Amino acid sequence: MYATERQNHIEQLLGDIGRVSVVDLSQRFDVTTETVRRDLDMLERSGSLRRVHGGAVALERASTNEPSLDERLTRHSGAKSAIARRALEALGDGFQGSIFVDAGTTTAALASRLAATLGPGTDVVTHALPIATALAAGPQSSLTLIGGRVRGLTAAAVGAETVHAIGTLRPDIAFVGANGISAEFGVSTPDPDEAAVKTAIVRQARRVIVVADADKLGRELLVSFARLSDIDVLVTDAAPDAVLAAALSDAEVEVWVA
């Protein structure tokens, strides 16, 4: 097989699974690991991938990559709706108490359903403008929007003021979004300011429910904002692989598959 053919196959694999390893490629193509590394170097120089330890990832899986809100709203919309329905089962019938809803497109799907199901006696808090808009139409007794500097990419408040305000709260349940969840790195996101807000939410909530579609499983973004042991429930749309499943079990995290 010529180098160009191998490289085309590598690009196809990255498109399908998002990540490749040098050892696996060496076995797949029956070439040395040095040959594979040269292929990966060439593809990285051409802007086709990002090299990581032991292999490479697709550019969209790089640690700082963060699609716009509009882009993310159109991705895995069916899975996000299913996750939202499953996650709301945590509230049970006649829930009364306080809920914090984090920024994100999966949490936005949850907020739309939440607005139609909650009644008086529930306090809902968020720092995200789209979440607040969805929740404002609901019959819940109280909605609080936490302020701060609004980050355009997510339309959510971030910064010291936001973190401080969250630190004064103790919500019964927090629904938290994530860009990556891995066995070693925990729960992560690309932006440090977003991570600081998420850390504050996780620290303050009595029960933390992370909602994330299966594309986020096994991914590691730039900033870890929580250990697996910091969360109580992971709601997703496909079972985690064996490594992540074992780590979640060791951390006593419940996994709910929508």
Q: What is the pLDDT of residues 65-82, one digit of tens each?
A: 555 555 554 455 789 999
CB 156 within 8 A of CB 127: yes
Beta bridge partners of 61: none
Kindly report which listed range (23-27, 32-36, 71-75) carries the lowest average pLDDT score.
71-75
Kindly report which listed range (6-10, 107-111, 114-118, 176-180) carries the lowest average pLDDT score.
114-118
The percent of residues above 90 in pLDDT, for the chain, comes to 62
In terms of average pLDDT, the best of 20-34, 81-95, 108-122, 233-247 is: 233-247
Other Cβ atoms closer than 10 A to 9 = 16
Question: For residue 204, what are the contacts with CB-CB under 8 A and spacing of at least 6?
Answer: 100, 166, 167, 169, 170, 171, 174
At residue 95's C-alpha, the angle toward residues 103 and 111, to 5°, is: 25
Mean pLDDT across the chain: 89
Closest CA to 11 of 42, 49, 38: 49
pLDDT at 56: 87
CB 216 within 8 A of CB 247: no
